[in-house]
Amino acid sequence: MILGKKKDKDVEIPSASLADIVFLLLIFFLVTTSIDTEKGLDLVLPPPGDIEVKIPKKNISNLFINANGQAMLDNEIVEVNEIQRLVKEKLFENPLLIVSLKTHKESEYDVYIKVLDQLKRAQAKRISLADPDEE
Amino acid sequence: MEFKKKTKIKLAIPTASMPDIIFMLLIFFMTVTVMKTYSGLKVRVPDALKIEKLDVSKRHIATIWVDKEQNIMINDITVQEVKNLRNRAYELRVNDPLLIVVLKIDEKAQMGIVNKVQQELRKGNALNINYSARPGEL
C-alpha cells in the first residue's frame, strides 16, 4: 500500500523581523552593561593568627602616621610626598627592607592611602601593617 | 546652460549579513554583562597615583563600604557590628576562592574602623583586598 505523500506546504517562519528583534536585545544589553572597571591599590593581608617572624632590626623601617596626618619615618618627621624618595633611598641601601606602617586609630584614611601610594611608587614590595596601639 | 545629468549607478550596501553582525555584538554584550550591581553607601574614595585595574572579572568581587559615620555595608547588606563581617567574608570566600574584596572607604573615615575591618577580613580568610581609589594627578 502506498501512502499518499502529503502535499508540501509552504511553511516558513517569517524572518524579516529577526534583525529588528536582535537589534532591540542588543540595545538592551548595551544600555545595561557598565564597562568601567574598579581601580585601586592592591594589598594581600597576612593569614589569620599571630605569626611571630623574627626580623633583624636593621631590616625594619618604622613609619608612623599620627592623628594629625603627620608621618614619621624612623624617628624623623617627614612630609607625606617625600616618603617615596626616602624609602627608595633606603631600599637602594638595603633591598631586604621591610616598611612597617603603623597608624593611629584617629588618623584619616586619606593620609593612609596617600602613604600607601607613596610606598607603592617607591616599589616597596614588603610592607607590614602593624596592629594599631591598643589603649 | 544645461548640465548633463550623470548616469545613475545602482548602489546598494549588502544587508544580508547584517543580522549576523548584530548577533555577534549581542552575544558579546550578553557575555560581558554582569547583572548584579549594588548601590552601596555614599562615599568619596581618596585619590592615588599608583592605581591598578583589578585583574579579575566583576563576578569575583565583593565590596565593602565604610562611610564617614562608620556605617559598614558589605554587598548591600548593612553590618551592624564589625564582628559580623567575619562570617560574611568567610562565606563569600568559601563560595568563591578567587574573591577580591574591594574596600570603598570614605577619605574622612578614621583608621580605627579601617583596621578593625581589616582584622575581620583576616579572620574571615578573605586576604586579597583592594583599596578603591580615584586616579589622582601629580
- For chain B, domain boundaries: 47-135
- pLDDT of amino acid A106: 81
Answer whether B102 sits within 8 Å of A121, measured CB to CB. Answer: no
Q: Assign A5 a pLDDT band (cuts: 50, 70, 90).
A: low
For residues A99 and A91, give the distance between their C-alpha atoms in angstroms, rounded to a whole number. Answer: 10
The answer, yes or no, to whether ipTM is higher than 0.90 is no
From first to last of its 138 residues, what are the pLDDT tens digits of chain B?
Answer: 667 666 777 888 888 888 888 888 888 888 877 766 777 778 888 888 878 777 777 778 888 888 888 888 888 788 888 788 888 888 888 888 888 888 888 888 888 888 888 888 888 888 888 888 888 766
Q: What is the pTM assigned to this prediction?
A: 0.71
Closest chain B CA to residue A34: B33
Which residue among B29, B53, B110 sits closest to A26, beta carbon to beta carbon?
Answer: B29
Chain A contacts to B (CB-CB under 8 A): 18-19, 22-23, 25-26, 29-30, 32-35, 37-48, 65, 103-110, 112-114, 116-117, 120-121, 129, 131-132
For B23-42, write each residue's pLDDT tens digit: 888 888 888 777 667 777 78
Mean pLDDT of A120-127: 79
Taken in order of first residue, the domains within chain A and their CATH numbers are 57-129 (3.30.420.270)
Percent of chain B that is helix, strand, coil (3-state, to 5): 35, 20, 45
The x, y and z cell numbers of residue A11, run together, are 511553511
Instruction: Give A44's contacts in chain B (Cβ within 8 Å).
Output: 127-129
In which element (H, E) is residue A45 found?
Answer: none
Q: Is B30 helix (H, G, I), strand (E, B) or coil?
A: helix
